[in-house]
Structures are given as structure tokens and as C-alpha cells.
């Protein structure tokens, strides 16, 4: 019985001794070496795609879309007809204007040729008859003159024949004067004005008919198609948008605290979840001029120009963006989690023998996992990583690199 009691006492003493030794052993702490490497500082965020150059296509007149020859994503050329607005009244206006123009031109031609055809024909016919009468009267007069010299005709007969000649000459002169008075300069000017007015009316009618064909204002890709064939449209109704997609603009939403990191010309990488594994490259084109609310965020819109040679990025898509705000060659870096902060500023717990000591540091650029140290540490220094138990300067540790 005494032997068992002694054995139990020895076991208890050994357990107590092991516990005391365990409590007095320094805790095991993971450390990371300070090293030099190229540090790339990305700014991840999101954005929205829009075309680099675009124009809206609108209807110029009211009517029904009788044709719609485009669809989303279709390539079109500048001046290509994309839709037609039907208005039956337009063709009637053209035909009416053509008829009025023909009538005005005929009237002008009649005046320029000397008068109205019916009146001219009547005068010309009468002139022909009177000239024939004059010819006969002249012949009779000459004959009677010869006979009078032979006393074969009286003076009264000669005088009567001469009067007939003069009457015919007077009538011819009157008809010719009347013929000339049919056309006056004011009449011609008025007829020319009527022709010009009819031409303008026809030209306007044809222009209105020409506007019934809606054309693309530039060469590009159709997007944002807003109507369907058979729809009624008014002047100004949006048909669709046409834009160049070989390059696009991406409006990148950067949180307000991060805007100071952004500069014009910084590289940008765009990723779209719809096409995983594919990336598009660009640069920052313009910084924001204001901050606005985006959901629960306060953001500035950073405009980026991105090459899109395949046209895969289409306007309106939501994308992930990463702006490379800094690249530091040969930077002195530590893991981000090793950097600590309190009222005294940034610091690390560096390994000094078998304990840790506080070293105040200054940080620079950072990436997702690393931060640049500009002062306070040297290459190959060891800094403590976070531990479950609190760690303070002067604590002894068992270092694990």
C-alpha cells in the first residue's frame, strides 16, 4: 500500500513539474524576413463599359417603321440605311409638286415663245390670210395702174385697189403688233417666279421623303436598339445607338479614400465574368471631378480607355477593374499582416535574440499581401506575424521562420 502511495506522489510531482516548465517556455511565434522585390500596387474595383465614340440614331419624321434592317451587335457603315419610316402622304406631295412644276414650265415656255399657243395660232392664221389678200390686192393694183396708162381703167378703180393694199398692210401691222404685245417682261418674270416656287416645293417634298430613310451617322456596331418594326415613331424618337467598339471607355468606380492613388496614364486591367480568363488592357484617361453615391459607397468615376480589338466588351456590361497605381523596383517589403498600428504610428515587432522589440517604421506602396517599408527596417530583419495570444515588446519567443 505504501509503495502505491509513493508511486502516485511521484506521478503527481512529475505532472506539476512538467506544467511549470511548460508555462515558463517561450511561445512559438511565426516570423517573416524583410526582403527586397518589385512591388506592384493594384487598386481593385468595378466599372461599366461604354463605347469610345458613339452617336444616337433618331427618327426625323413621324410615321410607322415599315422596315428595320438592324439588330443588336450588327456592324453598320456610315450612311447605311437602318430603318424606313412610311408616310403615304409623302408620295402624293411629290406627285402634286411635279404636276405644278410641269404646268409652270409650260406656261413659261409659252410666254418665251411669244404667247399662249391658241392665241398665237389664231393670229398666225389671220396673218397668213391677210398677207395672201395683200398679195392679191397688190397684183390687182399694179394691173389697174398699167391699164390706166392705156385709158383702160379709171382713176377711181386704181384708187380703190390702192386702198385695198393699204388696208391689208394696216391689218398686218396691227396683227403683228398684237402678237408682240401678248408677252410682256412682267409676265415672263412672274412665270419664272412660278417655276422657281414649284421647283422649291418639289425639292422640299423630295427632302421630306428622303428623311423617311433613317441612316447610320457613323461606322460602328449597333447597340441599345429601342424600337421594333411596325412601331409608330415621332421626330426625335431613339431608334438605336451606333458606336465604335475597337476601343471602349470604362467608367471605373473608385472609393473616395483611394482616389489619391489614381493618376492619369496608369495601367488598367479589365476582366469580365462572362468571359473568364480573358483580360483587356488600357490606361487611365481622366480623373473624376466630383464624388457621388453608388449604393452605400462614395465613389469617383475614373474614365479609362481600353483596347477592345475583338469587340467582345459591349456597352453596358459591368466589369471588374484593376488600376496599377504604383510599381516600386527593389522595394523593401514585409507581409501586410506584420505591420501594426497604434497611437504612436506604424510599427513592427522585430526579433532581437530570443525576444521581440518594437521598431517604428514608415510604410509606402502596398499590394494585396505586401507593404513597402521606407524606413525602420533592414533587409533580412525578422518581423513577427500575428499570434493568437497577445504579444508585446520584450516578450521572449521561440522563433519559427
What confidence tens digit (pLDDT) does each residue in 368-389 have? 899 999 999 999 999 999 998 8
257 DSSP 8-state letter: G
Range of the domain at 76: 54-85+212-239
Interior CA angle at 194 toward 193 and 196, to 5°? 65
Residue at which a domain ends, from 186, 207, 228: 207
For residue 113, report the phi and psi dihedrals to the nearest 5 degrees. Answer: -90, 0
Calculate Rg over the CA atoms of the chain: 52
Q: Work out the percent of the chain whose per-residue pLDDT is above 90.
A: 44
What CATH number is given to the structural domain containing 49?
2.40.30.170
Count of the separate structural domains present in the chain: 3
The Cα 140–Cα 147 span in angstroms is 10
Residue with the bigger pLDDT between 274 and 314: it is 274
Q: Are 223 and 315 in contact (CB under 8 A)?
A: yes
Rounded mean pLDDT, 180-196: 70
pLDDT at 275: 94
Q: Identify the residue whose cell numbers are 415621332.
A: 234
Residue 363 confidence (pLDDT) above 90: yes
Same domain? 257 vs 364: yes
Rounded mean pLDDT, 231-242: 90
Q: In what order do the strands lie in the sheet with 81-86?
A: 213-215, 81-86, 63-68, 232-233
What CATH number is given to the structural domain containing 229?
2.40.50.100
Q: Are 178 and 127 in contact (CB under 8 A)?
A: no
pLDDT at 9: 62
Highest mean pLDDT among 8-22, 182-196, 257-271: 257-271
pLDDT at 396: 94
Same domain? 264 vs 360: yes
Same domain? 69 vs 192: no
Same domain? 260 vs 390: yes
Residue at which a domain ends, from 191, 207, 223: 207
Number of Cβ within a 10 Å radius of residue 73: 12
188 — pLDDT class (breaks 50, 70, 90)? low
Listed residue (183, 184, 181, 173) closest to 127, CA to CA: 173
Same domain? 235 vs 248: no
pLDDT digits (tens, 9 = 90+) for 215-235: 999 888 888 899 998 888 888
Same domain? 338 vs 270: yes
Burial of 169: CB neighbours in 10 Å, binned 0-12, 13-18, 19+: middle
Same domain? 261 vs 169: no
- Residues with Cβ within 8 Å of 339's Cβ and at least 6 positions away in sequence, in order, are 346, 348, 361, 363, 371
Residue 9 within a domain:
no
Residue 352 within a domain:
yes
Residue 325 within a domain:
yes
Weakest-pLDDT range from 55-69, 107-121, 251-265: 107-121
Rounded mean pLDDT, 263-277: 95
Cα distances (angstroms) measured from residue 220 to each of 53, 69, 72, 240: 9, 15, 12, 12
Q: Work out the percent of the chain whose per-residue pLDDT is above 70.
A: 85
Same domain? 38 vs 181: no
Highest mean pLDDT among 30-34, 50-54, 120-124, 234-238: 30-34
pLDDT at 211: 54
Weakest-pLDDT range from 61-75, 169-183, 249-263, 329-343: 169-183
Residue 108 within a domain:
yes
Rounded mean pLDDT, 25-37: 93
What CATH number is given to the structural domain containing 125?
1.20.120
Q: Identify the residue whose cell numbers are 421594333.
A: 228
Same domain? 116 vs 191: yes
Same domain? 190 vs 305: no
Rounded mean pLDDT, 171-196: 73
Burial of 265: CB neighbours in 10 Å, binned 0-12, 13-18, 19+: exposed
Same domain? 293 vs 399: yes
Amino acid at each position: 500500500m505504501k509503495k502505491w502511495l509513493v508511486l502516485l506522489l511521484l506521478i503527481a510531482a512529475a505532472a506539476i513539474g512538467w506544467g511549470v516548465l511548460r508555462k515558463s517556455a517561450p511561445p512559438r511565434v511565426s516570423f517573416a524576413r524583410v526582403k527586397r522585390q518589385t512591388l506592384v500596387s493594384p487598386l481593385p474595383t468595378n466599372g461599366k463599359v461604354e463605347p469610345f465614340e458613339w452617336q444616337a440614331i433618331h427618327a426625323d419624321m413621324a410615321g410607322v417603321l415599315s422596315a428595320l434592317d438592324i439588330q443588336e451587335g450588327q456592324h453598320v457603315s456610315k450612311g447605311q440605311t437602318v430603318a424606313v419610316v412610311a408616310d403615304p402622304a409623302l408620295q402624293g406631295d411629290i406627285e402634286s409638286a411635279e404636276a405644278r412644276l410641269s404646268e409652270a414650265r409650260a406656261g413659261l415656255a409659252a410666254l418665251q415663245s411669244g404667247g399662249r399657243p391658241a392665241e398665237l395660232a389664231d393670229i398666225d392664221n389671220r396673218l397668213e390670210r391677210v398677207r395672201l389678200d395683200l398679195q392679191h390686192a397688190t397684183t390687182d393694183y399694179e394691173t389697174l395702174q398699167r391699164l390706166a396708162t392705156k385709158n383702160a381703167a379709171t382713176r377711181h378703180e386704181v384708187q380703190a385697189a390702192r386702198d385695198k393694199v393699204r388696208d391689208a398692210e394696216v391689218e398686218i401691222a396691227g396683227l403683228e403688233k398684237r402678237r408682240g404685245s401678248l408677252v410682256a417682261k412682267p409676265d415672263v418674270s412672274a412665270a419664272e417666279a412660278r417655276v422657281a416656287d414649284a421647283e422649291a416645293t418639289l425639292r422640299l417634298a423630295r427632302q421630306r421623303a428622303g428623311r423617311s430613310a433613317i441612316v447610320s451617322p457613323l461606322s460602328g456596331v449597333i447597340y441599345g436598339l429601342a424600337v421594333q418594326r411596325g412601331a409608330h415613331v415621332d421626330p426625335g424618337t431613339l431608334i438605336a445607338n451606333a458606336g465604335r467598339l475597337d476601343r471602349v471607355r470604362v467608367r471605373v468606380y473608385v472609393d473616395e479614400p483611394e482616389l489619391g492613388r489614381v493618376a492619369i496614364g496608369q495601367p488598367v486591367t479589365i476582366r469580365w465574368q462572362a468571359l473568364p480568363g480573358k483580360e483587356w488592357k488600357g490606361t487611365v484617361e481622366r480623373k473624376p471631378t466630383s464624388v457621388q453615391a453608388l449604393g452605400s459607397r462614395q465613389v469617383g468615376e475614373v474614365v479609362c480607355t481600353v483596347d477592345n480589338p475583338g469587340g467582345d466588351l459591349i456597352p453596358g456590361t459591368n466589369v471588374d477593374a484593376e488600376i496599377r497605381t504604383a510599381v516600386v523596383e527593389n522595394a523593401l517589403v514585409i507581409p501586410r499582416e506584420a505591420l501594426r498600428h497604434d497611437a504612436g504610428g506604424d510599427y513592427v515587432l522585430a526579433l532581437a535574440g530570443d525576444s521581440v522589440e518594437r521598431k517604428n517604421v514608415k510604410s509606402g506602396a502596398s499590394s494585396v499581401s505586401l507593404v513597402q517599408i521606407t524606413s525602420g527596417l533592414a533587409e533580412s530583419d525578422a518581423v513577427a506575424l500575428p499570434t493568437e495570444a497577445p504579444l508585446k515588446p520584450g516578450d521572449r519567443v521561440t522563433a519559427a521562420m
